């Protein structure tokens, strides 16, 4: 699997978890997998180490949601999976899609 396919697969898995509102790029947008011509924001892949940064849906149980994210990502990538909650979406906020 190419790095692009892996990053996209991780992002898709994370966004399918109930309680995950969106991926988050970190304070300065530095959390990403950089690919030719694009990047996957909120997912950082390194050898043996994957970081996922999230925006949770308002009212989502933090521990259960992050545990589910970690479980789903660990099924895709080898090594350690780190999950960080960066923000919580306001009640009723929707994800902007291009």
Pairing of strands 49-56, 80-88: parallel
Cα-Cα-Cα-Cα dihedral sign, residues 76, 19, 62, 54? positive
pLDDT-derived band at 96, boundaries 50, 70, 90:
low
Q: What is the tens place of the pLDDT at every residue in 22-75?
A: 999 999 989 999 999 999 999 999 988 999 999 999 999 999 999 999 999 999
CB 43 within 8 A of CB 35: no
25 and 32 Cβ atoms separated by less than 8 Å: yes
Structural domains in the chain plus CATH codes: 3-88 (3.30.70.1350)
Question: What residues have CB less than 8 Å from 59, skipping those under 6 apart?
Answer: 91
Q: Are 92 and 57 in contact (CB under 8 A)?
A: no
pLDDT band at 94 (very low <50, low <70, confident <90, very high): confident
């Amino acid at each position: 699997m190419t790095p692009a396919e892996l990053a996209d697969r991780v992002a898709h898995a994370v966004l399918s978890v109930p309680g995950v509102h969106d991926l988050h790029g970190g304070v300065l947008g530095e959390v990403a997998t950089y690919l030719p011509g694009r990047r996957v924001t909120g997912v950082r892949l390194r050898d043996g180490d994957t970081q996922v940064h999230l925006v949770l849906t308002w009212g989502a149980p933090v521990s259960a949601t992050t545990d589910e994210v970690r479980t789903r990502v660990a099924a895709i990538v080898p090594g350690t999976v780190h999950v960080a909650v960066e923000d919580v979406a306001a009640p009723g906020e929707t994800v902007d899609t291009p």
